[in-house]
Chain A
Amino acid sequence: MPRPRIDAVDLGKTYAEVTALTGVNLQVEAGTVLAVLGHNGAGKTTLVDILATRVPPTSGTATVCGFDVRRAGHEVRRRIALTGQTPSIDTTLSARANLVLFARLLGAPARAARERAAELVELFGLTEAAKRPAHTYSGGTRRRLDLAACLVGSPQVLFLDEPTTGLDPVGRNGLWDLVRELARAGTTVVLTTQYLEEADQLADRLVVLAAGAVVAGGTPRELKARVGARTAALGFPDAWSARSALDRFRQSGLAPVLDPGGHRVSAPLPEAGRLLPLLRALERAGLDVVDLAVTEPTLDEVYLALHHAAWDLA
């Protein structure tokens, strides 16, 4: 069996008093997408920075493409690309000039570098901004340039630290498509996110970090099975009909909760198929539904569920 593209064993990082990362084990295969989920300060950036050789670990080992991040950093950097959480481009240069610069540094001849820059400017919708210096760009445009800078070469492993932060819905969907396509072409992608939905959309596997430790890992389906499913929330015209609706929920086998406002009832939805019988029952009872939303579990609910799971084991 070939070695995984990323292989981390008992990885840890401590700053003076803070344990940013502890005991992380991780294997990522070629052509797969790993999502690293976690709240602010959970250690996502620290993990990515260690794997991308920006920060040395204080314990454990990690190899990327078979090279040790601590001892063979240069070899690792030849095979990866990173877009960090904060933009890292030359803001005095235009989008085009930035991309040409990075291509030249990767060894592209001047002409090929210009051609590649033009391609990426097109691909990331930077045409309009291509000639202005980057400090005049909007936050989202700067982010797109930062992402484009990652694809100047053809990295075997791509690290994206909260790549969709600051992107509008169109930009976000474009990035999702791009990540899927890169993975299909064999690139390994590691991305961090605070949104379970994003991880669910993109990732083959995900790990959940809390306080620097992996608290859960697996496929998105496995995690969702543990966390419980989507939530259906229905709005009613008044408190009376909302209370009456509670019974219909129960009769449909759901566990409803009345919102503090009193006009809204929500319940976990184990399967989508439960929704229609519920709506029919409500219609038969003559209860108007004025609002309907089905939401994916949030990261908070993931943490909560994992916390309860830990309790159950204890």
Chain B
Amino acid sequence: MSAPGPDRAEWTGSSLPTQVWVLTTRSLRAAFGDYRLVFFGLLQPVVLLLLFTQVFAGVGALPGVAPYAGYVNYLMPATLVNIAVITAMGAGAGLMAETYTGVVDRLRSLPIRPVSVLLARTFADSARLTVQLAAITGAGVLFLGFQPRGGVLGLAAAVLLATVVGWGLSWVFVAIATWRRNVELMQAVSFVAMFPLMFSSSAYMPLASMPGWMRAVATVNPITYAIDATRALALGRPPGAAPAWALLLALGAALGAGAVAVRNFRRAT
């Protein structure tokens, strides 16, 4: 048996970029390795997309929707955001599942910054999300008659924006996970938050067609900004200030919730 040699004496820590890079590569394997994660994240939004485009095809004729030339064009960008939101909600549960395997315990006793562990997770999740969004967009064009007027560039911008929104929102759920290490609570929060968040936005209906109080809720719903921005980019319409707002909100969520998550992460129990 050989005791540690002097050449390793200086291995007492790595830079933050190294930590993030090494941990992201590790998390990427987990993010893509489990096909169930890739598949089930898509299941609910795709079912909603199919149901809505088929059952509510008539909605396409409504005044607010008619300019989009088909309900699918109105819905598809919203579905991208929907998938991003669901992925974000999974981030907390994912972190907790990992906590139980013990590796997070080891990471916590190494001289690394907690933020790098959390950043790595959210980056890896975002990479998976980008691939999922690209796949769904392609399927929409091929099978559902989705006509993105924004072209490849507009679509890429839409996918990217939805990814950043999902990334920002995922910090909120990571923060909840580090605060209350409780999978059931996470799922309950996600389930309760999911439907009102999506339906009280511009995802399925234009705001103009909603009753007054609902319109008020939808106007302040941050998801509305994300959807409006994604929709404008994908369909090649003037986006106005929506992308800026969406990015700002995502960044704000990441910073605020991130600070809470990092503070909580050190605690062992």
Chain A positions within 8 Å of B, measured between CB atoms, are 49, 52-55, 73-74, 77-82, 84, 86-93, 101-108, 116, 119, 123, 149, 151-154, 174, 177-178, 181-182, 184-185, 187
Contact = CB atoms under 8 A, between A and B. Distances in A.
13 contacts: A53-B109, A54-B268, A55-B269, A77-B110, A86-B105, A88-B105, A91-B103, A104-B14, A105-B19, A106-B13, A107-B12, A107-B15, A154-B9
A82 B29 contact: no
A144 B176 CA distance: 34
Most buried by B among A49, A93, A105, A184: A105
Contacts of A82: 109
Interface string B172-204: 000000000000000000000000000000000
A93 B33 CA distance: 11
A106 B11 contact: yes
Nearest to B6: A154
B17 interface: no
Given A89-B102, A91-B101, A91-B102, A101 B22 contact: yes
Contact of B109 (A52, A91, A108, A181): A52
Given A86-B105, A90-B101, A151 B4 contact: yes
Contacts of A174: 1
A214 B109 CA distance: 25
Nearest to A159: B109
Shortest Cβ-Cβ A-B pairs, 6 listed: A154-B4, A88-B105, A88-B106, A107-B14, A88-B102, A185-B3
Given A104-B18, A106-B11, A49 B268 contact: yes
A149 B105 CA distance: 12
A88 B110 CA distance: 12
A54 B5 CA distance: 27
Interface in B1-56: 1-5, 8-15, 18-19, 22-23, 26, 29-30, 33
B3 A181 contact: yes
B111 interface: yes
Given A86-B102, A89-B103, A92-B30, A106 B14 contact: yes
Nearest to B113: A74
Nearest to A74: B111
A73 to B, nearest CB: 8
B22 A104 contact: yes
* Interface size band for B: 35 or more
Nearest to A116: B8
B108 interface: yes
A55 B102 contact: no
A106 B13 CA distance: 4
Given A52-B109, A105-B22, A78 B101 contact: no
A288 B159 CA distance: 88
B205 interface: no
Contacts of B101: 90-92
Most buried by A among B14, B23, B106: B106
B109 A153 contact: no
Interface in B242-269: 266, 268-269
Contacts of B106: 88-89, 102, 149
Contacts of A52: 109
B1 A102 contact: no
B112 interface: yes
A78 B8 CA distance: 13
Contacts of B112: 105
Contacts of A89: 102-103, 106
A103 B11 contact: yes
A185 B26 CA distance: 33
Nearest to B106: A88
B111 A90 contact: no
Contact of A107 (B18, B29, B107): B18
B23 A154 contact: no
A107 B1 contact: no
B103 A106 contact: no
